[in-house]
Amino acid sequence: MGTFSESDALLSLGSVIDVSSLREVIKDAIASVLPKVERVYVYLLDGETRLTCNDPPHELPQEGKLGDAVLQQKRVDCKGLPPAELQGKPMVGLAAPLAPDKQVLIIPLADKDAGTVVCVILVHCSQLSESDELNLRALEKHILVSYKRIQALQKLQPWPQVSLSTSSSQNSLAKTEGPPKNSYSDLDRKILQLCGELYDLDAASLQLKVINYLKQETQSPCCCLLLVSEDNHQLFCQVVGDKVLEEEISFPLTVGRLGKVVEEKKSITLQDISLEEHKQLNSMLGFEVTAMLCVPVISRATSQVVALACAFNKLGGESYSEMDEHKIQHCFCYTSTVLTSTLAFQKEQKLKCECQALLQVAKNLFTHLDDVSVLLQEIITEARNLSNAEICSVFLLDRSSHELVAKVFDGGVVDDESHEFRIPADQGIAGHVATTGKILNIKDAYSHPLFYRGVDDSTGFRTRNILCFPIKDENQEVIGVAELVNKINGPWFSKFDEDLATAFSIYCGISIAHSLLYKKVHEAQYRSHLANEMMMYHMKVSDDEYTKLLDEGIVPVSEIDPNFAKFTYTPRSLPEDDTSMAILSMLQDMNFISSYKINRQTLVRFCLMVKKGYRDPPYHNWTHAFSVSHFCYLLYKNLELVNYLEDIEIFALFISCMCHDLDHRGTNNSFQVASKSVLAALYSSEGSVMERHHFAQAIAILNTHGCNIFDHFSRKDYQRMLDLMRDIILATDLAHHLRIFKDLQKMAEVGYDPKNKQHHSLLLCLLMTSCDLSDQTKGWKTTRKIAELIYKEFFSQGDLEKAMGNRPMEMMDREKAYIPELQISFMEHIAMPIYKVLNDLFPKSAELYERVASNREHWMKVSHKFTIRGPPQQQLPGLSGRGIRPANDGREQRPQDERVPGLGRRAHGGRMTPPGTSPLGEESGHTQVQLCNPFPFRENNGADFGNKQKKGFFLFIYTMCSPRRRHLLPSPPTSLSPLSMLLLPDTYTSPHPTATPRRPASSMRTRSLPACCRF
């Protein structure tokens, strides 16, 4: 038994064409993959039921171990066979028992489609390893495939039928009487030898071997294979004679007799082709063609012509005969599958290479996003290399002028805009592609109606073919067009080039779109940087102020005012020039400067920059920020916050108080959204527009050179400080406060837990809100003055909203706002609940709650004396009021003791109608408000109202908030005050189309405003 390698064994199995040869090949294959094989016996299916072996000739026993293995169709491993199952002396070596290291394998191979065993192999060998098992299983599959292939071949006729295309072909092929005796087996032997040699993975090498075989069999000095492209539009040749071409030759298949061969699947000779085709053959082959036989090669899988086998100039000057045609067809009957499979494999390899090339292209493109011109130059280079084109041009679509613009050419980049090339976006080949968005492959440029020959005529360049494809962005919008001109080494651009261009265009589109976007972002960054520089320049603190504050040293808080650390102290009484020093004094008294090792120069610059960062609206200015910061200091000193919060949390709270209204414009969040301001564009999607802007301004100051007071912090502490500042500043949004108010009440009920992180967060939010509203905890004079400033700011916003054509809220409308009611409602439903929770947590803060309640009583006492809406004109220049009524005009006064729980008035049967008036002023012609369906709501944290019910309910409450109408309102839940939304700066306060009716004349108060209460 000869020795085979595993590859030789598998190759032999793939090339065997008869049963007798299969037996020998199986033996050799088994011996090559299994260890120490002694003997191999092969039983093959003879007919439909008999499994026979020829060594010695006998039939497989139907009983015993062999019969059981066939019946069960499973491999059997044993230590030998019973003597009754052994046929002849050669098989005696298989008798049981065998040596300990030997065994007999009974291997049945079943055809699952037919359901029968077609082969049984007896193997006398050593024990198998895991790798032997794997090799054996793989070999079994190959043996079964070979057997089925041989069975299929035996059903074929010995000689393929030949159909010649024309009578001239029949006359030109010499007639033969048929193959001589034993010639078929001789051909089979040669074919078997050829198939055994076809193991190359390179299609050109396979073609060389097949062509050499054809040369010998047809006695031709030169043969070639013309391969048909997948789209049946081209023929290409890789090998001519015994030479592999450096660059394949391709030519169109649309005309001529060669195209007819592919279409009709019939052989032709030299007499069947035209003189022009004869000349082309002579040019391609490099010699004079005197005789030719062209035979179509048909794929057995698709029944399509995959190649044309051509033999030229038969030796001896003879004509090609039918025998020559038979030999060619017989050859490809066995080799066409190997050839087409190798071509397919080679195509896949080509695709793999192209994919790798595309990935490299993507890498090259995406590394040049910073410069569009360089990117376009890279696109041109890569497109030309990928497609083997002579020239490439890229046009970008200018939608404003509806033109295609080319700034980059094969030769370089045009710097001057006057020299850039522009064409209308709807003209020419590029315009057609830009308009339709579809690829255009032009095989003959001069015959295409869209091609303009003027450029070729003027330059002498000849355009043969064009591949023009669109470049699209992520939204499939055309942003440009690429144009490839003149395929190198080809008649035109192929379908493969189209697919490659389509894939390439995706990378081009993404890279160009991102490059243009990158350019815009870069320009925006430059503008932003410039604007930031300008802002910081104008915010630059005075050197004199900086030097003065630095040289004076930090004054102890006791020297500022003896009562500076008491809740009764009014920080607004301190001159503004002294506030910066007071900030430094408070920070030093709280020991933050030394404990955090803050550089004094940096701290001074930071404080002055924060002060400079506030604008000058009536209320939300630096004085307000200083008052809020001072109240934080008071909480620290009087409530012993060090026992409740960490030092870094208290420090963050104080700095947040300083920065919480930076760059406030005197307008609220809803105004920013309604006016579509830049701030709304930046922050509206996140909510709390102004609060996020205040935090951003604080970060901008910290990032300014010489202002970062946290620069000595560790990375962890620095990040935590910024996170705390963000959360604390966002907590100044009253909408946020209402969302967490339930949690604050619950925390006050169960008691503060210093180990609970959520309690820390809630307490910081509560303290920040308390600081923000701290003006309400001062004396009546201060509270009244603050109301004047607040409504002056509100009315300015209302005027802006009117100028924009919008209807402002009543509280923003100087002609409708009734200030005492608004202040009382604000205190009852916002301020007092806050300081009540603070009092529950910190009993030492009781005086704060009491002072807010006292101020509310002051507003209650003076509310009946207000007969106007808006502040008196003489007190606030520029703010119009409607005047003051005479003191005694006969109007009835309502007693002060008429109270409704939660709203401050007593109801009489659910409603009260002043004498001489109908309910809600029907006599005055005002719109009546129906109360039969109170708005439903859920009692949780104030944020869970349905959108429509929430807006409608609060607008209704606000509309009815005057003392004359309160008795008509449904009682709100104690945990949530409906009027708490009055001063919300968010969407809760959006204008509503339902106008609030003015109070009827009969319900207006008749007393003039005392001088002590006027503002």
Residue 498 has pLDDT above 70, yes or no: yes
Check if the beta carbon of residue 817 is closer than 8 Å to that of residue 811.
yes
HEC string for 688-740? CHHHHHHHHHHHHHHCCCCCCCCCCCCHHHHHHHHHHHHHHHHCCCHHHHHHH
In a shared domain, residues 604 and 679: yes
Question: Are the CB atoms for 76 and 157 separated by under 8 Å?
Answer: no
How far apart CA 542 and CA 479 sit, in angstroms, is 52
pLDDT higher than threshold 50 for residue 891: no
Whether 428 is in a domain gets the answer yes
Note whether residue 466 is domain-resident: yes
User: Which residues span the domain enclosing 267?
Assistant: 167-176+183-350
Domain total in the chain: 5
Residues 293 and 267: beta-carbon distance below 8 Å: yes
Chain segment 107-128, per-residue pLDDT in tens: 999 988 888 899 999 999 999 9
Residue pLDDT, tens place only, 61-75: 888 888 889 988 899
**Which tokens sit at 116?**
């029968």
Tokens of 828: 């009852």
**Contact 846/854 with Cβ under 8 angstroms?**
no
Question: Does residue 986 belong to any structural domain of this protein?
Answer: yes
Give the whole-angstrom CA distance, residue 539 versus residue 608. 9
Is 311 in contact with 220 (CB distance < 8 Å)?
yes
- 274 by DSSP, 3-state: which? coil
- Known binding positions: 620-624, 660-661, 772, 823
Judgement on whether residues 551 and 479 belong to the same structural domain of the protein: no
With a pLDDT cut of 90, the percent of the chain lying above it is 26
Highest mean pLDDT among 282-286, 482-486, 826-830: 826-830
By CB neighbour count within 10 A (0-12 exposed, 13-18 middle, 19+ buried), where does 153 fall?
Answer: middle
257-289 per-position pLDDT tens digit: 888 888 888 888 888 888 888 888 888 788 888
Give the domain CATH number at 140. Answer: 3.30.450.40
Listed residues 317, 350, 383: the one ending a domain: 350
Contact criterion met (CB below 8 Å) for 430 and 436: no
**Tokens of residue 750, six digits:** 């169960």
pLDDT for position 714: 92
Q: Same domain, yes or no, for 571 and 660?
A: yes
Distances from the Cα of 6 to the Cα of 17, 103, 126, 854, 938, angstroms: 19, 22, 18, 103, 81
Cα gap 731→722, rounded to integer Å: 14
Residue 536 confidence class, pLDDT cut points 50, 70, 90: low
Q: Does residue 428 surpass a pLDDT of 50?
A: yes
Are 426 and 562 part of one and the same domain? no
- From first CA to last CA, the distance across the chain in angstroms is 121
344 shares its domain with 372: no
Question: Helix, strand or coil for residue 430?
Answer: helix
One domain, residues 513 and 589 = no
Same-domain check for residues 550 and 697? yes
Q: 498: buried, middle or exposed (CB in 10 Å: 19+, 13-18, 0-12)?
A: middle
- Domain membership of residue 971 (yes or no) is yes
Which of 467, 453, 465 lies closest to 491 in space, CA to CA?
465
What CATH number is attached to the domain comprising 698? 1.10.1300.10
Residue 21 CB-density burial (10 A; 0-12 exposed, 13-18 middle, 19+ buried): middle
d(CA 394, CA 808): 55
Pick the more confident residue, 730 or 474. Answer: 730
**Distance, CA of 73 to CA of 66 (rounded, Å):** 10
Distances (CA, A) of 256 to 274, 303, 506: 7, 22, 38
Q: Which of 424-428, 440-444, 631-635, 791-795 has the highest mean pLDDT?
A: 631-635
CB atoms within 10 A of CB 699: 14
Return the pLDDT at 155.
Answer: 66
The two tokens of residue 317 are 């000057």
| pLDDT, tens digit, 9 for 90 and up, residues 438-457 | 999 988 888 888 888 877 77
Model confidence pLDDT, tens digit, residues 766-790: 999 999 999 999 999 999 999 999 9
Looking at the chain, the whole-number percentage of residues with pLDDT higher than 70 is 77
The encoded tokens of residue 287 equal: 């010699």
Residue 942 has pLDDT above 70, yes or no: no
624 with 661: CB under 8 angstroms?
Answer: yes
Which residues, including other chains, have CB under 8 Å from residue 324's CB and lie 6 or more apart? 173, 217, 218, 293, 311, 314
- Residue 900 and residue 909 in contact, taking contact as beta carbons nearer than 8 Å: no
Among 433, 445, 443, 444, which residue's Cα sits nearest to residue 469? 433
Q: Any idea what DSSP says for residue 1009?
A: P
The C-alpha atoms of residue 964 and residue 1004 are separated, in whole angstroms, by: 9
* Tokens matching residue 648: 């870094």
- pLDDT-derived band at 419, boundaries 50, 70, 90: low
853-886 residue pLDDT tens: 999 999 998 887 765 555 444 333 333 333 333 3
Known binding positions for AMP = 620-624, 661, 772, 823
Asked whether residue 799 is assigned to any structural domain, the reply reads: no
* 404 and 429 assigned to the same domain: yes
Residue-wise DSSP of 560-590: H-TTTTSTT--GGGS-GGGHHHHHHHHHHHT
State the Cα–Cα distance between residues 664 and 789, nearest whole angstrom: 14
- Which tokens sit at 337? 């599958």
- Binding site residues for Zn(2+), as ranges? 624, 660-661, 772
Q: Work out whether strand 234-240 and strand 222-228 pair parallel, antiparallel, or are unpaired.
A: antiparallel
pLDDT, tens only, 74-104: 999 999 888 888 877 778 888 888 888 899 9
Catalytic residues: 620
pLDDT in tens, 13-55: 877 777 778 888 898 889 888 888 999 999 998 767 788 888 8
φ, ψ for residue 943, nearest 5 deg? -110, 0
Query: Distance between CA 870 and CA 908 in Å, rounded?
Result: 30
Residue 258: count other Cβ atoms within 10 Å of its Cβ. 23
Residue 435, domain member (yes or no):
yes
**pLDDT classification of 493: cutoffs 50, 70, 90:** confident
Residue 904 has pLDDT above 70, yes or no: no
pLDDT mean over 717-733: 95
pLDDT at position 839: 95
pLDDT top residue among 192 and 147? 147
872 and 996 belong to one structural domain: yes
Q: Which of the four pLDDT bands, split at 50, 70 and 90, describes residue 827?
A: very high
Average pLDDT of every residue of the chain = 77
| pLDDT one-digit tens code per residue, 671-688 | 878 777 777 776 766 678
Amino acid at 930: Q
Which amino acid would we find at residue 196? G
> What's the predicted TM-score (pTM) here?
0.46
What phi, psi does 542 have (nearest 5°)?
-65, 135
Q: Do both 70 and 187 map to the same domain?
A: no
Q: What is the pLDDT of residue 122?
A: 92
Question: What is the Cα–Cα distance from 214 to 206, expressed in whole angstroms?
Answer: 12
Residue 187: the pLDDT is: 65
Dihedral, 274, 278, 284, 286 alpha carbons, nearest 10 = 180
Residue predicted with more confidence, 285 or 584: 584
Region of poorest pLDDT, from 408-412, 486-490, 737-741, 889-893: 889-893
535 in a domain, yes or no?
no
653/17 Cα distance (integer angstroms) = 92
For 816, the token pair is: 């409708």
326 or 836, higher pLDDT: 836
Task: State which of 742, 772, 802 marks the end of a domain.
Answer: 772
Of residues 577 and 379, more confidently modeled: 577
Are 586 and 725 within one domain? yes
Cβ neighbours of 1011 (radius 10 Å) = 6
Q: 561 and 514: one domain?
A: no
Are 375 and 368 a contacting pair, CB within 8 Å?
yes
- Domain assignment present for residue 786? The answer is no
Instruction: Tell me: pLDDT of 736 over 50.
Output: yes
Determine the length of the chain. Answer: 1015
Q: Which residues pair with 310 in a beta bridge?
A: 224, 294
**β-strand 234-240 against 50-54: which pairing, if any?**
unpaired
Q: Residue for token digits 């009491």? A: 850
